[in-house]
Amino acid sequence: MEQYLVTARLLDAQDPLASFRNEFYLKDQTIYLDGNSLGLLSKRAEKSLIGVLNSWKEHAIDGWMKGDNPWFYLSENLGNQMAKLIGAYENEVIVTGSTTVNLHQMIATFFQPTNQKTKILADELTFPSDIYAIKSQLELNGLSPEKHLIQVKSQDGFTLKEDDIINNMTSDVSLVILSSVLYRSGQLLDIKRLVNAAHERDIIIGFDLAHSIGVIPHNFQESKPDFAFWCNYKYVNSGPGSVGGLYVNNKHFGKAPGLAGWFSSNKSKQFDMKHTLEHENHAGAYQIGTPHLLSIAPLIGSLQLFEEAGIQNIREKSLKLTDFLMQLIKEELEEFEIINPTLENERGGHVCLQHEDAARICKALKENEVIPDYREPNLIRLAPIAFYTSFEEVWETVKRLKHIMDTKAYEKFKNEREIIA
């Protein structure tokens, strides 16, 4: 182990993003590796939240059009900034809703079953909330989820074969919904290949970016998915329950939202108060209700950090961090199986370990001031974050984990998850 400490310190000394660590609130001695579930608070996000509070205090109702960040246009302005994270055009992204609300909006808008095309294609490894939304939308269309939802099977229980996904894009499929990065294994799918396959078959395709937004650069101007949706509280660090985002390819601009609301309106027409909706001609059309200003506010500061750091630089450091972590695990912790893909173009931002005692090992890690993430049935997710995780912390994590395993310190805990895993 000790020889790798020299390597870690050298990597930290050469890290062009090292200074961003000072932008975040970190606890002494605690190593936070759960940023793929909830990112840490940054000082910029705190400042921008206070700024919106002060705008409310100073301007009251006039805050909609006054102040540093007028509320009426904030979702659109932040959407334009977020577009850079996924390589989209301005006006293709809007900050709104939550992951599941935005998915409901996208299905309601783009799932238009015909006599020939009545099915939605997903997979058996996706996050449960996405499946709940898909099933409920099928039922709202009078279709049985048992007959009209196709879930691609995994051959190993952790990853998907893109050939299997494409082979399930049959002539009766109307819509495909997949994750860019699988939440358990961290597998990164080839979005461009899957989009091309879907479009060749006249199928609409969209992606859940919850585990890629803010850690992996996408090029949607090139790959051209029809839509995408995500949360901003993981790698984007905008706070628990913060407002999410969605992307709609500009070829669909003008399409009426499946779930209409007042904020779907063309901004210049919104206060005409007509009962016939004149919706926006860009991603803003797919908003529903009034923006949640206090939940959007931290994103103002958080996106400043992404602008300064650059998403490509973030990806490069993330890959180095996870490479180093996997190298140490292979050398020092052979009892763990690494189940995430190891090739750089096939993995997201976290390392996923399998062990039969995973639940209580996570509890032991927390006791030793390392914050991991547990996922059923026996998986440990470790996410070193480019903004605030050092290479020495990666080394220290493996050192503490090795001590836990050598001393069997985890055996005093029950091998079952807490209420929140």
Asked if 200 contacts 232 with a C-beta cutoff of 8 angstroms, the reply is no
Q: Find the length of the chain.
A: 421
CA distance 198 to 205: 7
Calculate the CA dihedral of residues 292, 85, 122, 97 and round it to 10 degrees: 10
Neighbours of 281 (CB within 10 A): 13
Q: Determine whether the annotation assigns residue 129 to a binding site.
A: yes
Q: Determine whether the annotation assigns residue 233 to a binding site.
A: yes
CA distance 220 to 373: 30
Q: Determine whether the annotation assigns residue 130 to a binding site.
A: yes
CA distances from 167 to 153, 170, 205, 223 (A): 11, 7, 15, 20
Q: Determine whether the annotation assigns residue 208 to a binding site.
A: yes
Residue 217 C-alpha from the chain's centroid = 12
Compute the chain's Rg from CA coordinates.
22
Q: Determine whether the annotation assigns residue 126 to a binding site.
A: no
Q: How far apart are the first and last CA of the chain?
A: 30
DSSP codes joined into one string, 375-418? ETTTEEEEB--TTT--HHHHHHHHHHHHHHHHHTGGGGS-SS--
CA distance 387 to 410: 30
DSSP codes joined into one string, 220-261? HHHH--SEEEE-SSSTT---TT---EEEE-GGGTTPPPSS--
Residue 306's H or E segment, with its range, is: helix 293-309
CA distance 399 to 177: 40
Q: Which amino acids are annotated as binding site for pyridoxal 5'-phosphate, given as ranges? A: 99-100, 127-130, 208, 211, 233, 262, 290
Binding residues: 99-100, 127-130, 208, 211, 233, 262, 290
